[in-house]
Chain A
Amino acid sequence: MSTDSAFTVPRFAVEKQRLLAQLREVLPALSLLVDEEDLRPYECDGLMAYRQLPLIVVLPENEAQAQAILKICSALKVPVIPRGAATGLSGGAMPHRDGVVLSLAKLKKIVKLDALARTAIVQPGVRNLAVSEAAAEHGLYYAPDPSSQIACTIGGNVSENSGGVHCLKYGLTVHNVLRVRGLTIEGEIVEFGNAALDAPGYDLLALMNGSEGMLALITEVTVRLTAKPELAQVVLASFDDVTKAGDAVASIIAAGIIPAGLEMMDRKAIHAVEPYVKAGYDLNAEAILLCESDGTPEEVAEEMARMTAVLRQSGASGIRVSQNEAERLMFWAGRKAAFPAVGRITPDYLCMDGTIPRKNLARMLIAIAGMEERYGLRCANVFHAGDGNLHPLIMYDANVPGQLDLATAFGGEILELSVKLGGTITGEHGVGIKKIVQMCAQFTPAELALFHALKRAFDPEGLLNPGKVIPTAARCREYRLTRSAADGADNASVNAATRY
């Protein structure tokens, strides 16, 4: 485990036996894990480089049990780490050594699907794809579609404000959730949002989206369902130059088109994916774009004509339009399998998640190529190009001493460049523990202090997912000192500190 994660995490003096005795009173035996072999599967989330065994894992079967657990934990001052499917890529669900992991795995019922109202009320452990599957018979689906949608949960999606390949047109999780019901750390029931389109008071529903399990435990979510478009078609465009591909993205948007999906992959990603998925990607291309249109057949035909014209003008070296649904899914299959495909060609990889203004896509790619040389590591690039959201996949081997640190530094440099290019250190994967240091680059001490105060408004004792997302002031001071020592005055932390 890297030293990075350890030193910010606050410790709690927990009497394990007393805690266990109380939990046993409210939970069936099968909902309480204490033996090391049972705890082991919970030691990390999708960020596998960081591991920590929890004290205890609890798996409540209903909201009442979850409430009882929280009442006990808050009374005994025990940290609680909510956990969905643990596909999170920033360590948000990584356990705390003094804490309880609260898994929502058993809360996986679709409580109600109202086709006329186009809403579904679901428990937090329901998988993203399960919602669309249940809605399909009504011609409806749940629009946000993270590539992990087979596994990840709605509770996790809300907590990360997850996106997918169709978010440019259909929005992120925050745009598709109407209500979140939850429990405060004290075990009080709270409802953020309601069955209408807005709620009185502050928009706490928006605040819950992307809050990474730090504000409240989510026990139920009402999601909005969307009418399935009659037709979707995707164009697969190859480019012999990444700059042309990046500029094509900006040109499509500038032409007033909002594609249903607009994704980009670079040469390394194409070469990882194609042998694995056989999606039909052009192995000679430096970059490919996947650009989707959906709607009525007439609408799609009209938009496809406009999109292909822009792609041609932007210098695409090859253009293929999906001729049927099977081919469309095949074109997408490559993109959706990009992470596992890269996982096959390298022992380990770090997935980064910066967002930048679209116009800087090519600049970022060129900078990353330079970093590959400097760090001696390969990096495959998969972008939600329409949103300017980058997923560089930095390949390394954890068994080679020093490589994880190199990969981490490489990733850190990408994120800091994202901030400099007018973007952010995370578009959709969250901060967790992975990017907590880069938070110091993006925010000033006063901004971070406000985040801490906001957290205390929900969780005064700091028991929900402690030590994540918001770095302490001391940590950032240290970061700034080491950064300015390392690269002189011209770095992102200094920019953040002196922005005004």
Chain B
Amino acid sequence: MGEKANSCLERWTGRVRAAAAEKTAIRLRGGGSKDFYGQSLVGELLDTREHSGIVAYAPSELVVTARCGTPLAEMEATLAENAQSLAFEPPHFDPGATLGGCVAAGLSGPRRVQAGAVRDFVLGVKMINGQGELLNFGGQVMKNVAGYDVSRLLAGSLGTLGLIVEVSLKVMPVALAEQTLRFDLDQEKSLNLLNQWGGQPLPISASAWAANSLHVRLSGAAAAVSAATAKLGGQRVTPEESTAFWLGLREQSHPFFAGDAPLWRLAVPATSAVLALPGEQLVEWGGAQRWLRGLGTPADQSIRIAAEQSGGHATLFRADAAQKAALGVFQPLAAPLGRIHHNLKLAFDPLGVFNLGRLYPDL
């Protein structure tokens, strides 16, 4: 590793130790593309972009290791040169999005159902804990059960457990062929079809329903994609349109997401019936991720209750500070889980340095 990178890590560990000693808070930030996500942003800024660059990448190992400040776009470009990709299609939300932020936010894109989530691809991390210690967990190999799986735990922890300084991710070959199909269907019929298709060996790599239009993407071997295209029917979408559509969905530049109305994300079982909630809905992940916003969306906990009753949870994904403060961003935890969360925070960050209150007010 470069001298510059080393000295950066030395400074960071020193800074964290000092913050712990003085009991001052640090706010971790990469490109700031996910500043909108989560609860409070408190503490003195630590900009992770200083520690940037791909450390190791051997395509035949299916693993890339990169520093936290590496732009996601740079990583994806490097992988693309070798016909590989981050299969969970992480949203960037801004050209400046970094790898560290991607893992800490734990958000996955359209391919989530077929490929898995961020955490499914995390193989190892190097991190700085709340006492300023540089620690390594996991590694660069596909299978590893030595000790607890701290690397995956950090995915989605929103920086509250420590500063992720380096990540190793499993990468996957890009599909040889791809075809998007469009159907004019209401939500109920779409959910039924998606669930039936999900139980068949079809190469469905993404789905989205909005405004009575269902898009389904097929990815895989050319023969498999053409066989499935013939089987499913629908209208074929051109490759250009297809790329733009899924990118728009991933980046939330799709018209559904335009405007300032609060945006809820409901994670529910894919088989849940159409949620009878006021507002507009956009359904992804074969029915397992449902976005809700717009007119009449209740400004109370009823959305959370509905999500919980169906077996999932709801996140106030985008909203102004007052709404977030009133409703909380994330679904409250049951008491024993809350206690374990609190204890884990103490284990990683005993003096309370990192991203205080970003995930839950008491973490």
Contacts of B40 in A (CB 8 A): none
B116 touches A171 (CB 8 A): yes
B149 touches A195 (CB 8 A): no
Q: Is B145 positioned at the interface, with any CB of A under 8 Å from its CB?
A: yes
Q: Is B129 positioned at the interface, with any CB of A under 8 Å from its CB?
A: yes
Given contacts A117-B271, A203-B152, contact A191 B337 (CB under 8 A): yes
Closest to B9 in A: A500
B313 touches A356 (CB 8 A): no
B135 touches A450 (CB 8 A): yes
A228 touches B347 (CB 8 A): no
Distance to closest chain B CB from A28 (angstroms): 28
Distance to closest chain B CB from A301 (angstroms): 7
0/1 interface trace, chain B 191-202, chain A, CB 8 Å (1 if under): 000011011111
Contacts of A424 in B (CB 8 A): 139, 141, 143-146
A423 touches B139 (CB 8 A): yes
Closest to A355 in B: B141
0/1 interface trace, chain B 115-156, chain A, CB 8 Å (1 if under): 011011000000001000111110111111111111011011
From the candidates A194, A388, A431, name the one contacting B311 in the complex (CB within 8 A).
A194
Given contacts A197-B267, A446-B135, contact A191 B344 (CB under 8 A): no
Q: Is A296 positioned at the interface, with any CB of B under 8 Å from its CB?
A: yes
Contacts of B269 in A (CB 8 A): 117, 119, 195-196
Given contacts A258-B173, A500-B134, contact A442 B220 (CB under 8 A): no
A257 touches B173 (CB 8 A): yes
Q: Is A427 positioned at the interface, with any CB of B under 8 Å from its CB?
A: yes
From the candidates B139, B145, B268, B341, name the one contacting A431 in the complex (CB within 8 A).
B145
Contacts of B63 in A (CB 8 A): 357
CA distance A446 to B161 in the complex (A): 15
CA distance A356 to B116 in the complex (A): 23
Contacts of B201 in A (CB 8 A): 227-230, 295-296
CA distance A295 to B176 in the complex (A): 14
Q: Is A456 positioned at the interface, with any CB of B under 8 Å from its CB?
A: yes
Closest to B133 in A: A446
B343 touches A196 (CB 8 A): no
Contacts of A188 in B (CB 8 A): 336
Q: Is A487 positioned at the interface, with any CB of B under 8 Å from its CB?
A: no
B150 touches A298 (CB 8 A): no
Contacts of B144 in A (CB 8 A): 355, 424, 426-427
A202 touches B148 (CB 8 A): no
Contacts of B43 in A (CB 8 A): none
0/1 interface trace, chain A 163-203, chain B, CB 8 Å (1 if under): 10001100110110000000010001111101111111111
B336 touches A427 (CB 8 A): no
Closest to A446 in B: B133
Q: Is A359 positioned at the interface, with any CB of B under 8 Å from its CB?
A: yes
From the candidates B119, B143, B289, name the one contacting A172 in the complex (CB within 8 A).
B143
Q: Is A384 positioned at the interface, with any CB of B under 8 Å from its CB?
A: yes
Distance to closest chain B CB from A418 (angstroms): 9
Given contacts A202-B153, A298-B223, A453-B347, contact A207 B139 (CB under 8 A): no
0/1 interface trace, chain A 351-368, chain B, CB 8 Å (1 if under): 000011111000000000
Q: Is B221 positioned at the interface, with any CB of A under 8 Å from its CB?
A: yes
B340 touches A457 (CB 8 A): yes
Segment with Cβ contacts to A, from B53-61, B91-99, B244-252, B318-326:
B53-61
B337 touches A201 (CB 8 A): yes
Q: Is B227 positioned at the interface, with any CB of A under 8 Å from its CB?
A: yes
Q: Is B360 positioned at the interface, with any CB of A under 8 Å from its CB?
A: yes
CA distance A424 to B62 in the complex (A): 17
B344 touches A196 (CB 8 A): no
Closest to B139 in A: A424
CA distance A209 to B151 in the complex (A): 12
B199 touches A196 (CB 8 A): no
CA distance A387 to B142 in the complex (A): 6
CA distance A424 to B124 in the complex (A): 11
0/1 interface trace, chain B 148-176, chain A, CB 8 Å (1 if under): 11101101110001000000000011101
B143 touches A116 (CB 8 A): no
0/1 interface trace, chain A 243-266, chain B, CB 8 Å (1 if under): 000000011011011100000000
Contacts of A114 in B (CB 8 A): 271
Q: Is A302 positioned at the interface, with any CB of B under 8 Å from its CB?
A: yes
B145 touches A161 (CB 8 A): yes
CA distance A412 to B172 in the complex (A): 32
Q: Is B288 positioned at the interface, with any CB of A under 8 Å from its CB?
A: yes
A428 touches B148 (CB 8 A): no
Contacts of A168 in B (CB 8 A): 142
CA distance A469 to B146 in the complex (A): 8
Q: Is A38 positioned at the interface, with any CB of B under 8 Å from its CB?
A: no
Q: Is A273 positioned at the interface, with any CB of B under 8 Å from its CB?
A: no
From the candidates A256, A298, A428, name the one contacting B143 in the complex (CB within 8 A).
A428
Segment with Cβ contacts to A, from B14-22, B29-37, B66-74, B327-335:
B327-335
A202 touches B156 (CB 8 A): yes
A499 touches B136 (CB 8 A): yes
CA distance A447 to B112 in the complex (A): 31
Contacts of A119 in B (CB 8 A): 269
B136 touches A447 (CB 8 A): yes
Q: Is B234 positioned at the interface, with any CB of A under 8 Å from its CB?
A: no
Q: Is A115 positioned at the interface, with any CB of B under 8 Å from its CB?
A: yes
0/1 interface trace, chain A 420-453, chain B, CB 8 Å (1 if under): 0011111111110001000100111011101101
Q: Is B312 positioned at the interface, with any CB of A under 8 Å from its CB?
A: yes
Q: Is B26 positioned at the interface, with any CB of A under 8 Å from its CB?
A: no
B157 touches A195 (CB 8 A): no
Q: Is B183 positioned at the interface, with any CB of A under 8 Å from its CB?
A: no
Distance to closest chain A CB from B54 (angstroms): 16
Distance to closest chain B CB from A355 (angstroms): 4
Distance to closest chain B CB from A41 (angstroms): 26
Distance to closest chain A CB from B351 (angstroms): 13
Closest to A421 in B: B141
From the candidates B135, B148, B149, name the one contacting A444 in the complex (CB within 8 A).
B135
0/1 interface trace, chain A 310-326, chain B, CB 8 Å (1 if under): 00000000000000000
Q: Is B315 positioned at the interface, with any CB of A under 8 Å from its CB?
A: yes
B153 touches A203 (CB 8 A): yes
Distance to closest chain B CB from A254 (angstroms): 4
Closest to B359 in A: A201
B221 touches A196 (CB 8 A): no
B312 touches A194 (CB 8 A): yes
Given contacts A117-B270, A191-B337, A422-B140, contact A427 B145 (CB under 8 A): yes
Q: Is B346 positioned at the interface, with any CB of A under 8 Å from its CB?
A: yes
Task: State which residues 260-298 of B face A: CB under 8 Å.
Answer: 267-271, 285, 288-289
Given contacts A115-B199, A500-B134, contact A200 B141 (CB under 8 A): no
Distance to closest chain B CB from A134 (angstroms): 15
A356 touches B221 (CB 8 A): no
Contacts of A427 in B (CB 8 A): 141-145
Q: Is B83 positioned at the interface, with any CB of A under 8 Å from its CB?
A: yes
CA distance A209 to B144 in the complex (A): 11
Q: Is A332 positioned at the interface, with any CB of B under 8 Å from its CB?
A: no
CA distance A171 to B121 in the complex (A): 10
CA distance A456 to B350 in the complex (A): 13
Q: Is A220 positioned at the interface, with any CB of B under 8 Å from its CB?
A: no
Distance to closest chain B CB from A373 (angstroms): 27
29 pairs from A and B in contact (CB 8 Å cutoff): A116-B271, A138-B199, A139-B200, A163-B143, A175-B120, A191-B337, A197-B289, A203-B106, A207-B153, A209-B149, A211-B149, A215-B148, A296-B224, A357-B58, A358-B60, A358-B61, A359-B58, A359-B61, A386-B142, A388-B141, A389-B142, A427-B141, A431-B146, A447-B147, A450-B129, A450-B348, A451-B150, A455-B148, A499-B136
Kindly list 19 other residue pairs between chains A and B, CB separation below 8 angstroms, not including A200-B330, A439-B146, A446-B135: A117-B271, A139-B200, A197-B112, A197-B285, A198-B106, A198-B117, A206-B152, A228-B201, A229-B201, A298-B227, A302-B223, A358-B61, A424-B143, A444-B135, A446-B129, A448-B147, A451-B150, A457-B344, A470-B147
